[in-house]
Amino acid sequence: MKILKADDYQTWFIEENNFSILVDPWLDRKLNPNSSIFLQREREDSSCLTDEDVKNVDAVIITAPFIDHLHFPSLNKLNKDIQIITTKRAKKNLNKRGFLNVTTCINNHPIEIGPFLLSPYPAGFPYTWSSFCFFIENKNKKILYHESHISNFSVLRKVNKKCDVALITIEPVKFIGLLTLSMGLKKALKVAKILGAKKIMATGTSPQKLKGLINKVLLIKENRINELKEGDTQIYYKEGDEVIL
């Protein structure tokens, strides 16, 4: 199983035996296709994926109904009949846009996606009812865990599932300094310990690059990877970073 951090934010490319999955794809240079004074993020390069990579994608996982997960300018680069696994709310929007093969994930109900088995679970608060986390396992019992915001610690302990790599946030973001929207490094390492993961691949990276009025209500701290000690969990942070399981 190949896991590629496909951009500088939270797009993931997972591949095995010529079957590939995109997770929360943002494949453009501009996050908000319209001019927006509320939310925007721009970059010089759309992603590190080639046109051929995108053309050959077999399935998509969309973990939340928000614009930085459910990004229609990117999804419109794919076939309308591509397999999509997502939330109930996102499915309604996808169906309205003409996507024909959309499945709503149900907590703790495994779904087969090509050579993989996907097991979805509730995200942590405040995303418990809008988003989901998941484990993906291949036939060799190699497992990745993905959570795009905040891990649900009670769920992780109850499930008691281990993984080889965790795709999680490591830069804390708070709404008006009170409501936590993504985990910092300390909590990320705690998640990795619960899961027995020796590697973390950071998602939702560089949140300070978000522009607009949203920056007025978000308290953002940059990553603290440089504080890790030798022997700690290995962290992959940059676009193009890759792990093979």
As a whole number of angstroms, the distance between CA 69 and CA 89 comes to 12
Share of the chain above pLDDT 70, in %: 98
- The dihedrals phi and psi of 166, each to the nearest 5 degrees, come to -115, 125
Q: List, edge to edge, every strand of the sheet that includes 199-202.
A: 111-113, 116-122, 132-137, 143-146, 165-168, 199-202, 234-236
Distance of CA 108 to CAs 94, 148, 158, Å?
23, 18, 12
Over the stretch 101-145, which tens digit does the pLDDT of each residue have?
999 998 879 999 999 999 999 999 999 999 999 999 999 999 999
Instruction: Please tell me the distance from the alpha carbon of residue 199 to that of residue 194, in angstroms, as a whole number.
Output: 13
Q: Is the dihedral of CA 88, 94, 96, 99 positive or negative?
A: negative
Q: Tell me: the pLDDT tens digits for 145-199?
A: 999 999 999 999 999 999 999 999 999 999 988 899 999 999 999 999 999 999 9
Average pLDDT for 209-226: 85
Contact of 157 with 194, CB cutoff 8 Å: yes
pLDDT over 90 for what percent of the chain?
86
168 vs 45: CA distance, rounded Å: 23
What are the residue ranges spanned by the domains of the chain? 2-244
Q: What is the pLDDT of residue 33?
A: 86
pLDDT of residue 231: 64
- Say what the pLDDT of residue 152 is: 96
Whether 9 and 41 have beta carbons less than 8 Å apart is answered as yes
pLDDT for 37 beyond 90: no
- The CATH code for residues 2-244 is 3.60.15.10
Tell me: pLDDT of 230 over 80.
Answer: no
CA-to-CA distance for 66 and 235, rounded, in angstroms? 26
Global pTM? 0.95
What is the number of residues in the chain?
A: 245
When pLDDT is averaged across residues 206-233 and rounded to a whole number, the result is 81
Burial class (CB in 10 A: 0-12, 13-18, 19+), 158: exposed
Q: Is 8's pLDDT higher than 60?
A: yes
Which tens digit of pLDDT belongs to each residue from 78-92? 999 999 999 999 999
Say how far apart CA 23 and CA 63 lie, in whole Å: 8
pLDDT surpasses 90 at 216: no
CA gap 54, 47 in Å, rounded: 10
Asked if residue 227 has pLDDT above 70, the reply is no
Query: Which uninterrupted H or E stretch holds 22?
Result: strand 19-23
Write phi, then psi, for 149 (nearest 5 degrees). -130, -85
Mean pLDDT score of the chain: 94
